[in-house]
Amino acid sequence: MSGPDVDGTEQQAATPEALKIRFRTAVSTIDADQFAVLDEAARLFRDGSPLVMIVAGSADTVGSADLNLQLSIRRAQSVAFALADRGIPIERLQVLGRGNSELEVNTANDTPNAENRSVSITWR
């Protein structure tokens, strides 16, 4: 939200560097409590018109690396389709799966971690 600064000039709200969509264990379905994040991503796209939005899926360390890579891709695809449903052209979305290779929170193998079960949305 923007508003007048102390000196009367307009102050712009900070744009986040990334938005995160969180997932339950072993699923790629987006829960309804994450829809507001998708709506915010669509608004930021419309307001800033970036060249591309990068939609990168991740998984925690539970399960095999191969299965986690496939799950992270499915999560990223789910988010990309949800963003397209909100008016973002699909050709402006870059979908990546990172599996459990780039963890937000470093954990030992077979350690469930909600922070690592996510899709990160960034733009450039």
Residue 3 maps to a domain? no
- In this prediction the pTM is 0.85
pLDDT band, residue 17 (cuts 50/70/90): confident
Enumerate the β-bridge partners of residue 20: 120
Residue 8 maps to a domain? no
Going by C-alpha positions, the residue among 83, 88, 72 that lies closest to residue 38 is 83
pLDDT given at position 54: 97
Q: What does the block give as tokens for 41?
A: 């991503």
pLDDT tens for each residue of 61-71? 999 999 999 99
Percentage of the chain beyond pLDDT 90 is: 75
Residue 1 maps to a domain? no
Average pLDDT over residues 5-33: 78
The answer, yes or no, to whether residue 10 has pLDDT greater than 70, is no
3-state secondary structure of 101: coil
Residue 71 maps to a domain? yes
Q: Which domain holds residue 101?
A: 17-123
pLDDT tens for each residue of 33-65? 999 999 999 999 999 988 999 999 999 999 999
119 Rama sector, left if φ>0, alpha if ψ -120 to 50, beta otherwise: beta
Going by C-alpha positions, the residue among 30, 101, 96 that lies closest to residue 64 is 101
Q: How is the chain split among helix, strand and coil, in percent rounded to 5?
A: 35, 20, 45
Q: What does the block give as tokens for 44?
A: 């930021």
Residue 7, CB-side half-sphere exposure with 13 Å CA sphere: 2
Domain count, the chain: 1
pLDDT given at position 16: 76
The answer, yes or no, to whether residue 85 has pLDDT greater than 80, is yes
